[in-house]
Amino acid sequence: MQPVILTIQKRDATKWLEKLLEAGEVIAPVRGAGKDVVFSTTTSPDAVLWDFENPLHPPKQFVFPQTDPIVKIKRNGQRLDVEPIYDDTKRILFNARSCDVKGIAFLTRMHGMEPADESYLRRVNRLTIVSLACTTPCPLGFCVCTDSGPFLSEGYDIQLTDLGERYLVEIGSDKGKAVVSDVPSLFRPATEAEVAQRKRLELEAKNHFGEESCHFASAMRRISTNRVPDALWEKMSDWCLECGGCNLVCPTCYCFSVKDLGRDGGWIRCRMWDSCQYAAFTLEASGHNPRPQRKERMKRRFFHKVSAQYYQRDGMVGCVGCGRCVKVCSAASSMPAVVGAIRKGKWHE
C-alpha cells in the first residue's frame, strides 16, 4: 500500500498505548531486572521506553520462542495421536528498532519457504510491528552495511520518527493502519516540513557511521567463490570459544534441535534454540560428525550468513548489522571482525 504519513504529539502517545493495550498483548522495551533494557510484555504505557539502547536480546523470541511447543503427543491404545499446537495470540511489538524489524522479516521469509512452517507463520501473522527509527545509531551497529537501518524504507507496519515535540507516523501496511484507526483524533496528516525534517534526520543518522564500515560485498565474493584459505579459517576459529552467544543474540539465527517433554501422561514436542557452533550440533546418531573441527563450523556459519548463494535464496544477507554479536563475543570473532578478515585475507590478532 502507499505509505500514509501522520503525526502524533508526544503527550498523546500514552493515550495511544492505552488503546493498544486494550486490543491485545503489547511487547515493548522496558527496564527489567537489574535495570537492563529488555523486550517484554507490558501492561503499563508508562513502562515503555522511548530513548534507549537496543536490548542485548532481540524480540525474535516472540515469533520464534527459545522453547517452542509445536505438537502434543498422546498414546491412544496401540497408536499415538499427534495434535499441532498453534499460538494465535494477537500481539503488538512496539518501539522495535529497524534492524529487529528486518530480522523478523528475514525469519518470516525463511519460514515461508516450502515446506511452510504453519506454527511460525500463524504467530507472525498475528503480530503488528511499530518500529522506532534510530536518529542516533547504536555504538556497535553497522546496519547501513546490510540495508537494515537506521531508518526503513519499506517492510514496516508503522515507523515512528522522533521530531522533538511529536512523532512522525509512517503507516506501511493494513495492520499498521488498523492500530491507528481506533483513535483517529490523536493523529493528523504530516506537513511537508515534517516529512523534510524526517529525511534530514535519516541523513544525519547515516552520517554517524562515517565513510568506511564492514564491507559485505567484497567478503561475499570471496566466500562464495571459495577464495578464503583454510589457514585463515583455522586462524579465526582459534579465537572462537564455542559459547554460542553470537547465535543466541542474533535476530536472524534459527538453528534448533527437538526435544520431547513429558506432560500429563503424554509429551509436548518442542523445538529449542541451538547453535551451529556447538561441536554436537551436527553429530549424527551413528557417531559420525561431518563438521568435527571448529574451523568447519565457523566456515559454515559465515557461508550461511554472507554467501551469494544464500543471498539469492533469502533476498538479503543473514545479518542485520545490529552489533549484538560484537557486544556478546568474548573472543573477537564477531561478524564485522570475520567479514573484515575475509575481505582483507588476513586476521588481526
Report the first-to-last Cα separation within the chain, whole angstroms.
49
- CA 255 to chain centroid, in Å, comes to 14
Q: Are strands 91-96 and 25-31 parallel, antiparallel or unpaired?
A: parallel
What's the confidence (pLDDT) of residue 64?
97
pLDDT tens readout for residues 236-267: 999 999 999 999 999 999 999 999 999 888 99
Q: Would you tell me how many other CB atoms lie within 10 Å of the CB of residue 158? A: 25
pLDDT tens readout for residues 24-44: 899 999 999 889 999 999 999
Mean pLDDT of 223-227: 92
Mean pLDDT of 99-122: 96
Specify the 3-state DSSP secondary structure of 273: strand
Torsion of CA 59, 64, 67, 69, to 10 degrees: 140
Q: What span, in angstroms and rounded, lies between the C-alpha atoms of 59 and 123?
A: 13
Lay out the sheet containing 25-31: strands in order across. Answer: 37-42, 25-31, 91-96, 127-132, 158-162, 166-171, 4-9, 187-189
pLDDT tens readout for residues 41-96: 999 999 999 999 999 999 999 999 999 999 999 999 899 999 999 999 999 999 99
For residue 108, pLDDT over 80 is answered with: yes
Residue 286: burial class (beta carbons within 10 Å; 0-12, 13-18, 19+): exposed
For residue 214, pLDDT over 60 is answered with: no
What's the confidence (pLDDT) of residue 348?
74
For residue 2, pLDDT over 80 is answered with: no
What's the confidence (pLDDT) of residue 292?
93
- Is the CB of residue 18 less than 8 Å from the CB of residue 45? yes
Contacting residues for 184 by C-beta, under 8 A, at least 6 apart: none
Mean pLDDT score across all residues of the chain = 94
Mean pLDDT of 167-183: 95
User: Residue 302's pLDDT band (boundaries 50, 70, 90)?
Assistant: very high
Mean pLDDT of 143-172: 95
Q: Would you tell me how many other CB atoms lie within 10 Å of the CB of residue 153? A: 12
Mean pLDDT of 107-118: 95
Q: Nearest-CA neighbor of 58 among 103, 105, 107? A: 103
What's the confidence (pLDDT) of residue 218?
87
For residue 211, pLDDT over 70 is answered with: no
User: Residue 102's pLDDT band (boundaries 50, 70, 90)?
Assistant: very high
335-344 vs 230-237: helix axis angle to the nearest 10? 150
- CA 104 to chain centroid, in Å, comes to 5
For residue 220, pLDDT over 80 is answered with: yes
Helices (H), the chain: 13-23, 98-111, 118-125, 174-181, 192-207, 216-224, 230-237, 245-248, 294-306, 308-314, 324-328, 335-344
- CA 40 to chain centroid, in Å, comes to 15
* Range of weakest confidence among 183-187, 203-207, 208-212: 208-212
Report the CATH number of the 4-65+86-207 domain.
Answer: 3.40.640
Q: Nearest-CA neighbor of 297 among 227, 244, 224? A: 244
User: Residue 3's pLDDT band (boundaries 50, 70, 90)?
Assistant: confident
- CA 292 to chain centroid, in Å, comes to 29
What's the confidence (pLDDT) of residue 331?
85
How would you classify residue 85: left for phi > 0, otherwise alpha for psi between -120 and 50, otherwise beta?
beta
Strand partners, 131: 96, 159
Mean pLDDT of 216-244: 92
For residue 212, pLDDT over 60 is answered with: no
Domain ranges in the chain are 4-65+86-207, 216-253+276-344
What's the confidence (pLDDT) of residue 134?
97
Strand partners, 73: 82, 267
User: Residue 217's pLDDT band (boundaries 50, 70, 90)?
Assistant: confident
- As a whole-number percent, the residues of the chain with pLDDT over 90 amount to 87
Cell numbers describing residue 274: 541451538
Specify the 3-state DSSP secondary structure of 146: coil
Mean pLDDT of 322-326: 95
